[in-house]
């Protein structure tokens, strides 16, 4: 009786020991695998760093080239003299300025979609110009009317745009359009001074934000304009 219990107990003890040894081996193996994995990850990251260094220098070269070409076009428009001497001066000057400040003009702009962006910009420009014109009529009316019905107030809203270029575009077009001035931007929150209640309401519908997001191709939201485009294409297909 006691012997069988003893045998069972030793069996159990052996079992536990075996299991523990297996666990330990597995742990050891997995840790070894982990270290090798981390090493390979490290190597891969190093390779990627090297690659991105190459990419960065290529990007710098591209920025340099584009900046100097743009500046040379600007020089030709400014100079309006087409003899060899002045063109040579122009090439020297644009290369010099591109060397001095090639990282300023295109520091964080993706250039791949420039054509789409330009097309959308020219498509959206008449709307913006119309808005600016109506804004000026509004201000002129307010300034010239004898009672001067202004009711200024500060409104604040959080934008969903992300890149700083589109923030700047939004802020400058807010400043230019009906009765509103961008006073401050703090961490994506716009403080806007509005001349009366109606324009504050107009701004809060967010149409301008959508348009700018559409022009500058901000990712990951759906824009009204895109939906309209798709609907038009669908209708044409039908």
Q: How many residues does the chain have?
A: 238
Helix/strand/coil for 192: strand
Token look-up 């110009």 returns: 129
CB of 59 to another protein, least distance (A): 16
Question: Which lies closer to another protein via its Cβ, residue 167 or residue 214?
Answer: 167
Residues that bind another protein (CB under 8 A): 67, 71, 74-75, 77-80, 86, 89, 93-94, 96-98, 100-101, 104-105, 107, 132-133, 135-136, 139-140, 142-144, 148, 150-154, 164-165, 167-168, 171-172, 175-176, 179, 181-185, 191, 193, 195
Residue 194 CB-density burial (10 A; 0-12 exposed, 13-18 middle, 19+ buried): buried
CB of 199 to another protein, least distance (A): 10
Rounded Cα–Cα distance for residues 174 and 191 (Å): 11
Structure tokens at 162: 């992300």
Question: Which lies closer to another protein via its Cβ, residue 150 or residue 227?
Answer: 150
Residue 183 CB contacts under 8 Å (≥ 6 apart), including other chains: 154, 191, 192, 193
Question: Which lies closer to another protein via its Cβ, residue 24 or residue 150?
Answer: 150
CB of 80 to another protein, least distance (A): 4
Question: Which lies closer to another protein via its Cβ, residue 24 or residue 125?
Answer: 125
Output Rg (C-alpha) for the chain, integer angstroms. Answer: 32
Is residue 54 within 8 A of residue 84, CB to CB? The reply is no
CB of 97 to another protein, least distance (A): 5
């Amino acid at each position: 009786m006691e012997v069988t219990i003893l045998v069972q107990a030793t069996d159990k003890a052996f079992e536990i020991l075996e299991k523990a040894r297996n666990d330990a081996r597995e742990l050891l193996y997995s840790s070894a695998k982990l270290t090798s994995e981390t090493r390979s990850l490290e190597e891969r990251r190093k390779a990627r760093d090297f690659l991105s260094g190459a990419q960065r220098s290529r990007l710098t070269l591209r920025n340099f080239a584009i900046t100097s070409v743009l500046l040379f076009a600007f020089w030709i428009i400014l100079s309006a003299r087409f003899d060899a001497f002045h063109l040579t001066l122009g090439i020297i000057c644009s290369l010099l300025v591109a060397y001095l400040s090639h990282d300023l003009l295109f520091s964080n702009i993706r250039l791949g979609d420039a054509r789409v962006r330009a097309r959308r910009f020219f498509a959206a420009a008449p709307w913006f110009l119309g808005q600016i014109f109506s804004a000026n009529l509004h201000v002129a009316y307010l300034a010239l009317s004898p009672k001067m019905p202004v009711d200024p107030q500060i409104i604040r809203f959080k934008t969903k745009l992300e890149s700083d270029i589109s923030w700047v575009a939004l802020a400058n077009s807010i400043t230019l359009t009906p009765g509103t001035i961008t006073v401050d931007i703090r961490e994506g929150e716009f403080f806007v001074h509005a001349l009366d209640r109606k324009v504050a309401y107009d701004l809060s519908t967010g149409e301008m934000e959508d348009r700018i997001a559409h022009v500058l191709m901000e990712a990951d939201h759906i824009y009204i304009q895109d939906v309209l485009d798709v609907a038009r294409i669908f209708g044409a297909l039908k």
